[in-house]
Structure 1
Amino acid sequence: MTSDSAASSRPTNPSDRIDAIDVLRGIALFGVMAINLVMEFRVSIFEQFLGPKTFASPIDRVIDAILSQAVELKAFALFSLLFGAGLAIQFDRLATSERRTVLLVRRLAVLLVFGIIHLCLIWNGDILTEYALAGFIVLPLLFGPRWLLTLAALMFLALYLAMQDFPPAGLFPSRAAIWRDVMDANRIYATGGFLDVAAFRLRELALIAPLHAFVFLRTIGLFLVGALAWRSGIVQNTRGLFAIALAAISLGAGFFGVTEPLGTIALALGYGAAILGIASFERGKQLLGWAAPLGRMAFTNYVAQSIIFGWIFYGYGLGLFARLGITEALAVGIAVYVGQVLFSAWWLRHYRYGPLEWLWRSLMYGVRQPMLATGRARAA
């Protein structure tokens, strides 16, 4: 084996692990995009509650099965784990700052404002608002020891599991209300102008809020699991045989062991361990490195997807709502995702942060952050 080959098969230094997290975030964004596109932008999110799905072709059926079994809630669970880990990373990095609490509260408050704007003006499938609210609950717990994070995570996840079997009475709308909403969505989203779509989007919030309430406890629990994974060093040291073992155990439990909803969490952990493990090697980093810029700009790319897909599917744009099959819609999504991969790489060669990441950071610190990449800043 040559020296180059030996070097490429060794794990990267722990100081480089943030790159691996960016890779994981960028890949997870594809799963989130695919589910949002196929199940919420393409058709009404409530159509799935009205009975068996109909498919335009056999390949649509196959893709739907893959997305439902391997991606759907798993991508969102993985994103929640990453957000919790990211919050813990910010918390620990600000350990020597007297303004740590103020800065992190401001960070979550700014995210909440972004989320509400996104929810009301761009797309009511927004996840940012839920994440900000969950972050406010998790933040005080980060001051505690690891055993407290463990206990709190177990408690919130146990409450979530109990809620699956005993949902609060009256939480979900009636079938008649859902049917009326789907009929209105097929008409307004497909043909309405921007103001028509915005007004209907706001009316739908009463039906969408229970869906967020149903998974809110899980979101908090996964935030805590992500924070615990960072605090315990699992994220930093998920490499080599340990990564393979952790991924195999989690994926095996998810696919063949525990049932839903624990299977969803197990699969998310397995996906995360596998990708972090691959990205910890030089060759793996080269193989998956394309996703790192996308992950660094995940906030910008997430909101941009909402804007782009809104224009493609709603009446104020191309009006393709309820007109595309799963395969056609996913092909559109893949094209948008590839475009974002290329754009993110180009952007970060010139600038330090994505546009929304820069704005978020500037508002968090209350100071305009430098935007140009270091080399360009020196040249200027």
Structure 2
Amino acid sequence: MPKITSLAEPTQLHERILVIDILRGFALLGILLVNFTGAEIARTGRLDDEVRRLLDFLISSKFYTTFSFLFGLGFALQLLRARQRESRIVPVYLRRMVALYLIGLFHAILIWNGDVLLYYAAMGFLLILFRSLPQKLLLAFVILSLAFEFWTSLPSSPSMKISGLLPSRYTPEMEQQKELDRTLDYEKSREAWQNHTLSTRSGTYVEAVKARFQVWITGRDFLWSYFWATAFAMFLLGLYAGKKGIFHDLVRRQRLLRWTMWTTLPFAFSLNLISAYGPYVLGRFYQQIPDWGFSLLYVLAGPLGSLFYVSALLLLFVKSERWMRRLSFLRWVGRMPLSIYLMQSIIGTMVYYGYGLGMYSRLSYLVGLLLTLAVFALQIPLSRWWLSRFQFGPFEWLWRSLTYGKPQPVLVRRVRPAEPT
């Protein structure tokens, strides 16, 4: 029986769950596909349009939600280990989120402004408040989070600023000032993003860093309002799955997995088909979809697609060890996701931005797709090589060291065979 360590020590290799590492690697591929085929890609013709629609159908909004689910699941596993060790989790977990926020800030300003680590850290602080809720209440908050995202995505919804959500007595002058402030905030954000686009296309690295800092100061509402409630719903759903023990006994959970897969499949397929190919499959009826219909599609397409992928893969692993072995190569990148994610950002900015190869809006979707697959194919053996020598990825090591307040052992411990007596 392996030695149980105190919570003041990081998770050891023997405590990992293989399928979670594989799912995490799968999600990293999807995130890379989205990031490498985003705004920096040129639209060059019909083939590119078909590739873009296919990526929208299969990938868009399904992998940041998967990663959010796995984040919540990881938190649930930390809670379980804390109970086994009879240790307090809150102090260590809060330090962990502070460290993640600092790494995210480093990433957002020095590497790429599309960072999500900052938001994961912020929502991680919020997640700690839900740790003791019963499972059914967690599911209720999942529904409430998605409903809130639906409400805020409606064109008629109020401003997302906190002040707009707090009740108060307004005079007409106060209402006019609020609208003026909202307009000025939007103009500042838009100007910051425009400056960032110009600096990344043709500017120096220093100019790009300055522009990213300005985006961070004035323009974060764009990304925050884009996905935070949906992502937090998946955080809570992952916490629910972990507390329910689904990943500890997949064989016994086959019925639940089958129900999830077959329930989400028709809805995920339909919503994502409309999202990617709406005018083609609905014709003139596409223009008659009300605003609330588009909002519902926007909120549900990603999470339902994510749940279908996760449940289908888990069922595949339960039914066939051969498929588990075939896809186990994903575990290498799944064991060092933070380092892989940051490496993808570095490679992407060096390919597209002006201080690198300057390919901004010059590569087609097809070339961008092939480049994405090539980068990921390179990361797999690189991760395997690294993890054969070190316990963690470089940024995972930094994260753990910041969390526990001291440098963590990083070299792989090799057990020497006992000498014959």
Give the TM-score normalised by the residue count of structure 2: 0.77
Distance of 1:17 and 1:117 partners within structure 2: 28
Amino acid at match of 2:391: R
The residue that corresponds to 1:64 in the other structure is 52
1:169 maps to a residue whose letter is: S
CA distance in 2, matches of 1:131, 1:263: 21
1:167 aligned partner:
157
Q: What amino acid maps onto 1:198 in structure 2? A: V
RMSD (Å) for aligned C-alpha atoms: 2.7
Q: Per-residue displacement from partner, 1:220-264 (whole Å, max 9, x unpaired)?
A: 211001110111123334455653442232122211368442232
TM-aligned CA distance change 1:17 to 1:111, over 3 Å? closer
In 1, Cα distance between equivalents of 2:196 and 2:368: 18
Taking the TM superposition and a 5 Å limit, the aligned residue runs for 1:16-165 are 18-40=17-39, 42=40, 55-95=43-83, 96-165=85-154
Task: Report the AA paired with residue 77 of structure 1.
Answer: T
Q: Distance in 1 between matches of 2:130 and 2:235?
A: 11
Q: Compute the displacement of 1:73 (Å).
A: 0.7
Pair 1:298 & 2:297 matched:
no
Q: 1:184 to 1:104 in 2, by over 3 A?
A: closer
Q: Which residue of 2 aligns with 1:212?
A: 224
Q: Which runs of 5+ in 2 are unaligned?
A: 1-13, 162-181, 272-295
**Aligned twin of 1:263:** 301
- Name the residue aligned to 1:191: 202
Decide whether the 8 Å contact of 1:186 with 1:322 is kept in 2.
no
Aligned-partner Cα distance in 1 for 2:78–2:142: 19
Provide closer, same or farther for how the CA distance between residues 377 and 362 of structure 1 changes in structure 2, counting only shifts above 3 A. farther
Equivalent of 2:395, from 353, 356, 359?
Answer: 356
Q: 1:181 to 1:369 in 2, by over 3 A?
A: closer
Q: Tell me the distance in 2 between the aligned counterparts of 1:170 and 1:98.
A: 38
Once the 2 structures are TM-superposed, how far is the Cα of residue 170 of structure 1 from its aligned partner?
7.8
Identity, in percent, stands at 29
In structure 2, what residue type is equivalent to 1:268?
S
- Cα deviation for residue 368 of structure 1 reads 2.6
- In 2, Cα distance between equivalents of 1:170 and 1:106: 28
> Closer, same or farther in 2 for the Cα pair 1:246/1:153, shift >3 Å?
closer
* Structure 1 letter corresponding to 2:34: I
Are 1:119 and 1:125, in contact at CA under 8 Å, matched by a contact in 2? yes
The equivalent of 1:236 in structure 2 is: 248
Aligned residues: 354
1: CA distance between counterparts of 2:222 and 2:198? 23
The alignment's TM-score, normalised by the length of structure 1, stands at: 0.85
Q: Which amino acid aligns with 1:252?
A: P
Among 233, 244, 254, the alignment partner of 2:268 is 254
Q: 1:377 to 1:86 in 2, by over 3 A?
A: farther
Q: For residues 94 and 162 of structure 1, what CA distance do their matches in structure 2 show?
A: 37
1:177, 1:367 → 2: CA distance? 41
Q: Does 1:341 align with 2:380?
A: yes
Cα contact 1:22–1:292 (8 A) shared by 2: yes
Instruction: Give, in whole Å, the separation in 2 of the partners of 1:103 and 1:117.
Output: 21
Helix, strand or coil at the partner of 2:239 = helix
- Contact preservation (8 Å) 1:122, 1:310: yes
Which of 320, 323, 332 is residue 284 of structure 1 equivalent to?
A: 323
Alpha-carbon separation, structure 2, partners of 1:334 and 1:207? 31
User: What is the alpha-carbon distance in structure 2 between the residues aligned to residue 329 and residue 161 of structure 1?
Assistant: 32
Task: Indicate how the Cα distance of structure 1 residues 331 and 181 shifts in structure 2: closer, same or farther if over 3 A, else same.
Answer: farther
More displaced 10-residue stretch of structure 1: 59-68 or 23-32: 59-68
1:350 is paired with a residue whose SS is: coil
Higher gyration radius (CA): 2
Amino acid at match of 1:354: G
Contact 1:91–1:104, Cα closer than 8 Å, also in 2:
no
**Kept after mapping to 2: 8 A contact 1:115/1:128:** yes
CA distance in 2, matches of 1:220, 1:242: 22
Matched to 1:137, the amino acid is L
Cα offset, 1:214, TM superposition: 3.6
Letter in 1 for 2:231: T
**CA pair 59-181 structure 1, distance change in 2 beyond 3 A:** farther
Worse-matched range after superposition: 330-339 or 176-185: 176-185
* Compared CA separation, residues 99 and 237, structure 1 to 2 (3 A): closer
SS of equivalent residue, structure 1 residue 55 = coil
Partner of 2:346: 307
Give distance in 1, aligned partners of 2:199 and 2:417.
Answer: 51
